[in-house]
Structure 1
């Protein structure tokens, strides 16, 4: 009897071990070791329920020595927080899309990648953009793809709810990159750099990018046509164009644009394009990322892009059809007249109802514009 029980126990134990081994193989089959030579602190990519990946980084610690900076105690709280964590460039990734561009080798098939900065609560904006200018589609024979960039907001239960919202969107649309850092104005530069790092790894050969906010109106069809018309530039050469700012002074007063002289002494920024929206080539995006590795982060993201370009010896250029400050339409005229917007590339300050209306009006085949009226 004892021998029979022992035999049954051995058989059961062997079966459990076999079952356990099969389960381990199943759950580990999608885990991939990333390039440790590029990122020595990066561990593994773990698959989530929606087949995205989470990057495992060590938690970045607060730099308490920042408090020794002259006048630090008088700075606004948002600037203190920025300075405490200014050195941090790697954060856990909550939502990822490693195959968004078809993989690194096929990423050249993406002609225009729409890179849209959006905070977790801005669901309505994302929903409208997916139905209008940010719709993923084939236009003029080339592909337009879309990505929203997000951090996290609030804390506790509210943070969990907003993260869940993005996760639900991800399951349906597969268009969100999210990192576990606080999504604030001062961290927009961090958001840009995190994206560029992601791009270098997952989408290095994309031809062109639109980098913009989720409250801009972008004529992406017109953008494709403009980019296709460039001479001798398929995205492999320098391009960075938008609303050009030259000799822009720094804000030393305590508002959201405040930059302490202690972290940036010059009184004027290098030339840069307004961050509401600008176009750049894939080549230039990767150059900016490379330059950023040796330039400390600043809390003004568009000016920081200009600093990276200056270091690389590249110039941003002006495009008259990029209007981040809006259009100067006389009050006697209808500000919703689509003829004002049919030929622009980008206008800042559009929200849901107007966005949806304008996108469909400029694509109305019966639309006729009086050129004289527009003068």
Structure 2
């Protein structure tokens, strides 16, 4: 019996069925195996290297620049040091810089990066590192450990800027704004976020299952890219953090802490954690005149940070009408 050659339509149907079966199998595997939810580690760690002990001879710190950084982000830390984060006096007040880091999850990388961080600590004295894996879900742990450290090492700092290592901060404007406030009163300002709740989609970076939180709405909070707080509020947050279970999204957790203390975050139009938009198609969103009156903008590449700092510090910079939003 002679075997016949399959018809073209039969071959096409077989291929289509194979592809369809593969897609069903892939979809099923995705549905039954979503990324595992990670809870933050418990705050049991101690700093590996506390390289910034308080020195009585130094002037009191008015604004402590606290920057969350991943261990490998050396270039970002260097650009912050060279630009807006440079330790200096502004309008008669003292600025200090501190980077918060954990350890790289990969042991081989961790050994190399820890050597780099130790070198940075010797040269700059601005690294505070703990022995936990530096990851998105451990940002809350990083915040809590910093608050504990501040209580004993830098409790007298009047105000704190808490931000990521890819923000651009106009520290002169911040000082002008903060000099009108009392550090012993409540202050917590940033880009306010209201009326949002947990994301229940397992494939989202911000996925939170109901077993962690039943409520469908978070308390008001400020975007974690950057916000300002007073030492009064830092003390309140530290107190609340000891009474609450750690929550994996750090900015939401701080909103929970404020709620625990009966305090509320506030909005400031000069803090843009979602970036800025140009007012017209003929204006670049990177125009320094758009940043001259702001306090903080999130998501800058290192070279952009250097260019913006250079532009804003040029005496020859001329712009139109000033907004005076601070």
Give the TM bin, normalised by the shorter chain: 0.7 to 0.9
User: How many angstroms does 1:160 deviate by?
Assistant: 0.2
User: Is the 2:52–2:125 Cα contact (8 Å) retained in structure 1?
Assistant: no
Structure 1 residues 96-111: aligned runs within 5 Å: 96-99=50-53, 101-102=54-55, 109-111=60-62
1:259 aligns to what?
208
Number of residue pairs matched by the alignment? 290
TM-score (norm 2): 0.85
1:224 aligns to what?
175
> Which sits farther off after the overlay, 252-261 or 202-211?
252-261
1:117 aligns to what?
68
| Counterpart selection for 1:76 from 35, 38, 56 | 35
2:98 aligns to what?
147
Report the secondary structure of 1:221's partner residue.
helix
User: How many angstroms does 1:248 deviate by?
Assistant: 1.3
2:9 aligns to what?
none
Whole-angstrom CA distance in 1 between matches of 2:255 and 2:175: 24
Whole-angstrom CA distance in 2 between matches of 1:262 and 1:108: 48
Task: Structure 1: give runs of 5+ residues left out of the alignment.
Answer: 1-72
User: How many angstroms does 1:74 deviate by?
Assistant: 5.5
| Counterpart selection for 1:268 from 212, 217, 223 | 217
Whole-angstrom CA distance in 2 between matches of 1:352 and 1:136: 18
The runs of at least 4 aligned residues of structure 1 exceeding 3 Å deviation read none
Report the secondary structure of 2:62's partner residue.
strand
User: How many angstroms does 1:332 deviate by?
Assistant: 2.5
Do residues 359 (structure 1) and 309 (structure 2) align? yes
User: How many angstroms does 1:247 deviate by?
Assistant: 1.1
User: Is the 1:108–1:205 Cα contact (8 Å) retained in structure 2?
Assistant: no
**Deviations 1:340-360, CA, capped at 9 Å, x for gaps:** 000000000111111011112
TM-score (norm 1): 0.74
User: How many angstroms does 1:300 deviate by?
Assistant: 0.6
User: How many angstroms does 1:281 deviate by?
Assistant: 0.2
User: How many angstroms does 1:95 deviate by?
Assistant: 1.8
Whole-angstrom CA distance in 2 between matches of 1:315 and 1:92: 30
User: How many angstroms does 1:283 deviate by?
Assistant: 1.1
**Deviations 1:74-104, CA, capped at 9 Å, x for gaps:** 6623x24x2xx64x212142121352x436x
Report the secondary structure of 2:263's partner residue.
coil
User: How many angstroms does 1:156 deviate by?
Assistant: 2.5
Change (3 A) 1:257 1:334: same
| Counterpart selection for 2:149 from 185, 198, 207 | 198
| Counterpart selection for 1:343 from 293, 296, 299 | 293
RMSD of aligned residue pairs (Cα, Å): 1.9
Whole-angstrom CA distance in 2 between matches of 1:310 and 1:333: 40
Whole-angstrom CA distance in 2 between matches of 1:182 and 1:212: 19
Higher relative contact order (CA 8 A, sep 6+): 2
Report the secondary structure of 1:109's partner residue.
coil
Whole-angstrom CA distance in 1 between matches of 2:238 and 2:190: 19
User: How many angstroms does 1:154 deviate by?
Assistant: 3.0
Report the secondary structure of 2:132's partner residue.
strand
